[in-house]
Chains A and B, each alone.
Chain A
Amino acid sequence: MEKITIPIGPQHPLLKEPLSLRINVSGEQVLGGDLRLGYVHRGIEKLAQTRNYVQNVHLVERICGICSHVHTTAYCHSVERLLGIEIPERAQFIRALLCELERIHSHLLWVGILAKHIGLDTIFMHTWHDREMVLDMMEELSGGRVSHAVNKIGGVRFDLDEKHGPMITKTIQKLHNEVEKLLDIITHEPTIKARTRGVAAITAEEIRQYGVVGPVARASGVDMDMRRDDPLPPYDRLDFSVITQTSGDAWARTVVRVEEVQESINLCEQILKKIPGGATETRARSRVPAGQVTTRAEAPRGELFYYLRSDGTDKPARLKIRTPTLPVLSILTKQLADIQVADIPVVLAGVDLCIACADR
């Protein structure tokens, strides 16, 4: 049968963000494809060299609308390492709390999108309703649903007060019950199994070859999580499990993410129990001593890498950001080979792409 190339994007109803995909098909069989980024490239790394360290907190927060907080966490931690300061413990716990809330809403958003792509609009509505509870909570805490502006160099911008603890506890308890139901549906609902089991499976060996990280890697049995492997404080003082599956298919990726939501809920509870009193920030100089540093943080989509070099001025000489979507994208074209056309949305949704992150 004749080979046809189908262009998808950069603007397409299937895509939430601009990405150009060219998919080769023969009848209903997908033969492979290629992709092109850059449609939301904002030159963040270049811009960072023209702004001072404080302004860059707000710049890196705008890399992504889903995981904005972990970007500022990794960036602030890099600057603080070069400054040789350690932020107060209370600030570390507040940063981690927001990181886990961000992970919960990112994973729930993803489960909803997957459900929508496979025609289960009811699950989509339920998960996005649950996600809304998290966004409301983040707004209550920080004043922002997307850009929270919680982090500053040397600590955090706000403190938890006496009404926050009970509010978070009540909401995450409710969320915990909802997520249990969701996991039960995902593991038992025949339509979800039929559409995700065995679809776009990636082996652990392929994960390693392509440097894939995060829930996609863990769904293939690659036990890697920077919260445990290279913990930013206070993760070294928190108890949690790294969730893995072995089948590496869209189903395993779904289960990993839902179980990670449960783990994040547990982490939020622990943080609220263990958070110490005291200050929420420490004084930080505006000029950063010359030096180079790297930081690895566990974003909702996996390992987030920052390289920062200071030349002793108040602006970074070089800021390199490798977001977790980039390695995931590198294996996407391989995943598109030997599947059916109807499975394309499941493959695209299954790896949880964030093009804004990849483009920067």
Chain B
Amino acid sequence: MAENKAKKILLSIKTEIGAPCQMLDDIQNESVLEIQKDHLREIVEFLLHNHQPIHLTTITADSMESDPNQIHIFYNFWKGEGFTLLTKLNQNDLELNSILDLIPGVDFYEREVAEMYGIHFANRENTPSLLLPDDWDQKPPMRSQVKE
């Protein structure tokens, strides 16, 4: 199980921002905080202002068989130990606010999630194809296991 440091950071989000969120133990060795997608930017801004230096390792998308109507988006952070913000998107509303202006390094991660899972990132210019061919016209390849 993750140690106290990451949990304290996630608990500070809960207490300071007051947004609806819950601690999960989904990932064996990391603390996970599930948040509403509308609060993502506010929470990332809070982390950047209060917990620097902080490192965003990547964004991981996953469509779970146990939760076929949603795509789980994990923001995997590192600050001495790993911790994760999780937000769940409904299949009929696959839009998420971009955090590119807050963390410039997120560009490729958002673009990859966009093309592999069909997520639309709002508040950024566009997400041009990063890995798939420009003329790719089939469904996002990593979403195939989701019942549509």
Which of A222, A230, A318 contacts B62, CB < 8 Å?
A318
Contact A37 B58 (CB under 8 A): no
A291 contacts the other chain (Cβ, under 8 Å)?
yes
Bound CA span A331–B108, Å: 10
Residues of A within 8 A of B104 (CB): 209-210, 330
B98 contacts the other chain (Cβ, under 8 Å)?
no
Contact B107 A330 (CB under 8 A): yes
A342 contacts the other chain (Cβ, under 8 Å)?
no
Query: Measured between C-beta atoms, what is the minimum distance from B61 to chain A in Å?
Result: 8
Query: Measured between C-beta atoms, what is the minimum distance from A49 to chain B in Å?
Result: 8
Bound CA span A49–B53, Å: 35
Contact A330 B60 (CB under 8 A): no
3 closest A-B pairs (Cβ-Cβ)?
A: A210-B105, A211-B105, A322-B58
Bound CA span A331–B76, Å: 19
Residues of A within 8 A of B60 (CB): 307, 320, 322
B36 contacts the other chain (Cβ, under 8 Å)?
no
Residues of B within 8 A of A37 (CB): 108, 130-131
| Residue of A224, A311, A318 with most partner-chain B CB within 10 A | A318
Residues of A within 8 A of B26 (CB): 292
| Residue in A closest to B77 when the chains form the complex, CB atoms | A211
Bound CA span A234–B28, Å: 21
Given the contacts A318-B62, A327-B105, A296 and B78 also touching, CB distance less than 8 Å: yes
A293 contacts the other chain (Cβ, under 8 Å)?
yes
Query: Measured between C-beta atoms, what is the minimum distance from B66 to chain A in Å?
Result: 8
Bound CA span A70–B131, Å: 23
Contact A294 B129 (CB under 8 A): no
Residues of B within 8 A of A296 (CB): 57, 78, 82
